[in-house]
Amino acid sequence: MKKVIRNVIIIILLIIVIGLIILMSIGYNSYKKALEEQALNEKVAEIREQENYTKIEEMPEIYIKAVISVEDKRFYSHNGIDLISIGRALINDIKEMSFVEGGSTITQQLAKNIYFTQKKEITRKIAEAFMAIKIENEYDKNEILEFYLNTSYFGDGCYTVKEASRHYFNKEPIEMTDYEATMLAGIPNAPSVYSPTKNLELAKQRQKQVLKKMVDSGNLTNEEMEKILESENKEQEAN
């Protein structure tokens, strides 16, 4: 009986390994095909040529910290793939029996934005991971972050930080207040839900999530968070 159980386990493991190899192969082929259709340097050149391309030095420091805190807190320490986030996401997906969490890094999200669809598929995630590693090998972290923030959707037809800050706050990015910057950082997660013009209350709820993530990651103190939240009332009173 023990021998039968052992053989069954071995067969199951072999099936899993073979399945993973097939999925990896499909994902890698998708990655290669994407590069054949357009090289990475050409994609980057197109991004940089956008009319409202926003350079990272044009963005407030708190905005950068907010984005990293809420999207990828280990951004500056990984090579494009965060195994800790992937493991956590995998556990949560198994619990829910669906794709409830992706575990994607900022670099993976950039790869998705410029090469792949938003559809949640395992093979697409694999292709995205291969592309993320290539991006990390060819560009530094600040360049990658800059590209990401110029290819993300902020709602209402805005695809760059400059377009979004002008549209929502009638300001250049660097002029945004801490309150505005932290609100903007939360929008790309679900623009149709968190856009201030769609639902201001949900946008504020998302902003609080962003601020709490900043506190958790050490980019903000609780006192600073409270001051930012209180600043909205002071601005309204001043107006």
Higher-confidence position of 25 and 184: 184
**Between helices 61-71 and 141-149, what is the axis angle to 10°?**
90
Is residue 100 over pLDDT 50?
Answer: no
For 149-166, what is the mean pLDDT?
95
Question: What band does 97 get if pLDDT is binned at 50, 70 and 90?
Answer: very low
Q: pTM, whole model, 2 decimals?
A: 0.84
Classified as helix, coil or strand, 233 is helix
Is residue 104 over pLDDT 70?
Answer: yes
Higher-confidence position of 218 and 102: 218
Question: What band does 94 get if pLDDT is binned at 50, 70 and 90?
Answer: very low
Quote the pLDDT of residue 123.
Answer: 86
Q: How many residues does the chain have?
A: 239
Question: What band does 12 get if pLDDT is binned at 50, 70 and 90?
Answer: confident
For 95-119, what is the mean pLDDT?
75
Q: Is 50 exposed, middle or buried (CB count within 10 Å of its CB: 0-12, 13-18, 19+)?
A: middle
* pLDDT (tens digit per residue) in 174-208: 999 999 999 999 999 999 999 999 999 999 999 99
Longest C-alpha distance within the chain, in Å? 80
For 5-28, what is the mean pLDDT?
84
For 22-37, what is the mean pLDDT?
91
Is residue 42 over pLDDT 80?
Answer: yes
Domains and CATH numbers, the chain: 2-232 (1.10.3810.10)
The amino acid that residue 23 corresponds to is L
For the chain, give the mean pLDDT: 88
Rg over alpha carbons for the chain, rounded to the nearest Å, is 21
